[in-house]
Structure 1
Amino acid sequence: MRLALTGLGLLLLGALAMVTGLLPPTDALQLGERVLPVLVFAAAITVVAELAADAGVFTAVAGVLARVSRGRTLVLWLCVAALSILSTAFLSIDTTAVLLTPVVVLLARHAGLRPLPFALTTVWLANTASLWLPVSNLSNLLAAPKLSPSGAGGFLSLLWAPALVASVVPVLLLFLFFRRELSGRFRPEQTASPSDRVLFWSSAATTVVLLPLLTTGLEPWIPTTAAAAVLLIVFAIRRRRSLSWRLFPGSLILFVCGLFLVVSAAHSLGLGRLLGGLGHGTDLPALLAMAGSGALGSNLVNNLPAYLALEPAAGTPVSLAALLIGVNAGPLVTPWASLATLLWHSRLQALNVRVSWRGYLTLGLVVTPLTVLAATSALWLFAAQ
């Protein structure tokens, strides 16, 4: 509800900017043409992930991880980290934060383990591991046409090293923070079979087919929309009660639309000129300045407005990649730094898992600069030379 009200307020501010002429209609139209595919993808991937979770796909995968770990806590946690990275890379940051988190928490509880290390793993990697593919984060989808018109392959060729580093550094730090809790053994429980095998295997097959299609030259919204349509048809036949308007992320769409309009209006007021000198240069200090600005802006306001505000200042593809490092791997300090973190926290509250924001901030102040510094250095070493 708060997200919807915030989005409505931003949308009204954007409409006011258009009515007063602050945001010219032509600029608003161009913005709409750019943003529409991103919003369609966000809505479709949410439907796919929600229905796959309802069919028991994520729970089944978690059960497989528990069996593979053979009672070793460290192996189980490493499997959860790997699953979080894959989920984020292919199914987006919000899928990991919102849908994988409850599965991981319940998995930890069934194993008699404290959920916090596992929950922190999902939210940290939901952010930091979102550098792998254009579909991993909304900011990536906005940046992808400028970074690599050829599709996911070109995007990955530029960002593979930062993505790898940003995925590994938080895992190493989490191990250092929680190494005592992650040692020892547990007794894995037998997971229940899916209640509807046809629904389960249809959802699993659709998801498996979708994943490689997201790495091709197709615009991501096309295969994702097709996958959502397939699952909606299957659920309409097998489990109609699961279909409701709650599957559609209306609050998120409203928030993003309003956000885009407000930031575009701010650029009309001269925000772009104010930040214009920031993104020139591909030497390490210039890239660190861009990434650091993205991380700072994300933790002050939110990663999406931070990206939109700084995007025009990124004068080269490498500089734009540095900005993505800042706004993707940097939002680990404040609760509002990324929408995924807020959604993650609401899911934890529903599961009665308490998280101290003071502790979250303290850990974030350690992991954020180290991750952003290491990932940006990897970008400079492998892409800017």
Structure 2
Amino acid sequence: MWWICGLAGVAVVATGLLGGDGFHEVAGRAAPVLAFLLAVTVVAELADAAGVFDAAARLAARAGRGRTWLLWLLVVVLGTLATVVLSLDTTAVLLTPVVLALAAQLKLNPLPFAVTTVWLANTTSLLLPVSNLTNLIGLDTMKGFGVSGTAGFTALTWAPFLAGLVGAVLVLGLAHRRSLRGTYGAPPPAPERDPVTFWTAAVVCCLLAPAFVSGITPAIPAAVAAVVLAVVFAVRKRDALRFSLLPWRTVVLVSGLFLVVETAQVHGLEDLLRPLAGTGEGFLDHLQLAGTAALTANVADNLPAYLAVEPLAGSAHRLVAVLIGVNLGPLVTPWASLATLLWLDRCKARGVTISLPRFALLGLVGVVVCVPLAVAALQLTR
């Protein structure tokens, strides 16, 4: 998929379908987003190599005191924190295998934990600009509506974020209630870890949260964190520093999507979507817009869906409705978000079989519950 998007991006520029002005506009918007993506991925990968995620999962297992339902709730907390601070892709790529390995070691059904991880990656990615690439892109647009910085962004998203989280937990808890009964034994001993890399990575991850809400451009603290960890690993565990740490496939994919969707906008995509999106500011108007964004995401992936629907927002609250649709909505099709595709790969690698029809049916229920709840909560911030 990444190379198709890359070739498509090159093609629209090479053929002149996207002119020079459009290309420079895309480059200006994409550069800080891609810089953040590169830096935070390096941070997450090195934190995983240091054992931070494994330690957090084992801590959750001990705190669960042998009760499966309590362990599941602690995984909800862990997945939410990972998504909010380190982005949904971190949860999908790095937390998923840790949680699945823990479930296997404790002899628990892995499906509730697997599905919970990917749902949290999507539904809890609304709170901070750094939680989702769509949020980072929307941060600049928010300024045009008089909302600036992380504080202004979060003032509009905290209530929909909480509503989406509650909706997801209720649906998942009811759907997997039988598997979450019972108890489990003590987790096996933790593997040996280098204390310097472990504690450095743990402190860096903890410091990122206040840094991201401080108002500084998110790419800056992420880059500083990546450099600090890279230096420590160069001294202590040089073999962990490899080219594959850089998410170059994702960079190519995102760059291509930016270019293709901008080209489609130039050639009339906005006019096609306008009748579906509506124009009003009430609950039903916001729900219509969020529904349009969610439908588009499940058809064509959430990032191009956001880029396509964003011009139809027209206000800060309507823009949050778009984000609700593209962040909480991608629960039905496996290609609705990159995080879901990455999650499927991790499940396959761990030998966990995901029934896509059942995944889609449960996801449809999740969208029907979470998106309206989040839109209703959005009205509290008006």
Does the alignment pair 1:184 with 2:176?
A: no
CA distance in 2, matches of 1:7, 1:62: 35
Contact map agreement 2:13 2:23 (CA 8 A) in 1: no
Cα displacement (A) at 1:374: 1.0
* Aligned twin of 1:297: 296
* Aligned twin of 1:202: 200
* Aligned twin of 2:307: 308
2:151 to 149, 153, 166: 153
Deviations 1:94-135 (CA, angstroms, capped at 9, x unpaired)? 000110000111111111101110010010010000011000
Moved more, 230-239 or 5-14: 5-14
Moved more, 371-380 or 50-59: 371-380
Cα displacement (A) at 1:193: 4.5
Does the alignment pair 1:69 with 2:67?
A: no
Letter of the 1:87 counterpart: A
Identity value in percent: 48
User: What TM-score comes out, normalization by structure 1 length?
Assistant: 0.96
CA distance in 2, matches of 1:50, 1:150: 30
CA distance in 2, matches of 1:218, 1:337: 30
User: Superposition pairs for residues 52-63 of structure 1, below 5 Å?
Assistant: 52-63=47-58
* Aligned twin of 1:247: 245
Contact map agreement 1:314 1:320 (CA 8 A) in 2: yes
Contact map agreement 2:88 2:122 (CA 8 A) in 1: yes
Deviations 1:1-40 (CA, angstroms, capped at 9, x unpaired)? xx33223222223323xx42x3221221122111100000
* Aligned twin of 2:254: 256
For residue 112 of structure 1, give the secondary structure of its aligned residue in structure 2: coil
* Aligned twin of 1:358: 357
Cα displacement (A) at 1:139: 0.3
CA distance in 2, matches of 1:107, 1:140: 31
Cα displacement (A) at 1:279: 4.7
Contact map agreement 1:279 1:314 (CA 8 A) in 2: no
Does the alignment pair 1:12 with 2:10?
A: yes
CA RMSD of aligned residues (A): 1.3
* Aligned twin of 2:209: 211
5+ long unaligned stretches in structure 2: none
CA distance in 1, matches of 2:22, 2:10: 17
Contact map agreement 1:44 1:224 (CA 8 A) in 2: yes
For residue 275 of structure 1, give the secondary structure of its aligned residue in structure 2: helix
CA distance in 1, matches of 2:193, 2:157: 41
* Aligned twin of 2:322: 323
* Aligned twin of 2:100: 105
Number of aligned positions between the proteins: 378
Deviations 1:36-58 (CA, angstroms, capped at 9, x unpaired)? 00000011100000000001000
Letter of the 1:58 counterpart: F
Deviations 1:177-212 (CA, angstroms, capped at 9, x unpaired)? 111111111112243144211111111111112221
Contact map agreement 2:85 2:208 (CA 8 A) in 1: no
CA distance in 2, matches of 1:153, 1:271: 32
Contact map agreement 1:56 1:194 (CA 8 A) in 2: no
For residue 85 of structure 2, give the secondary structure of its aligned residue in structure 1: helix
Contact map agreement 1:110 1:188 (CA 8 A) in 2: no
User: Superposition pairs for residues 328-343 of structure 1, below 5 Å?
Assistant: 328-343=327-342
CA distance in 1, matches of 2:96, 2:203: 22
5+ long unaligned stretches in structure 1: none
CA distance in 2, matches of 1:311, 1:146: 9
For residue 50 of structure 1, give the secondary structure of its aligned residue in structure 2: helix
CA distance in 2, matches of 1:285, 1:76: 37
For residue 375 of structure 1, give the secondary structure of its aligned residue in structure 2: helix
Contact map agreement 1:134 1:152 (CA 8 A) in 2: yes
* Aligned twin of 2:169: 171
CA distance in 2, matches of 1:194, 1:49: 20
CA distance in 2, matches of 1:191, 1:171: 30
Contact map agreement 1:28 1:261 (CA 8 A) in 2: yes
Contact map agreement 1:89 1:129 (CA 8 A) in 2: yes
* Aligned twin of 1:93: 88
Letter of the 1:345 counterpart: L
CA distance in 2, matches of 1:365, 1:211: 32
Cα displacement (A) at 1:383: 2.4
Contact map agreement 1:60 1:191 (CA 8 A) in 2: no
Does the alignment pair 1:142 with 2:130?
A: no
Cα displacement (A) at 1:147: 2.5
Contact map agreement 2:83 2:91 (CA 8 A) in 1: yes
* Aligned twin of 2:31: 36
CA distance in 1, matches of 2:98, 2:287: 36
Cα displacement (A) at 1:261: 0.4
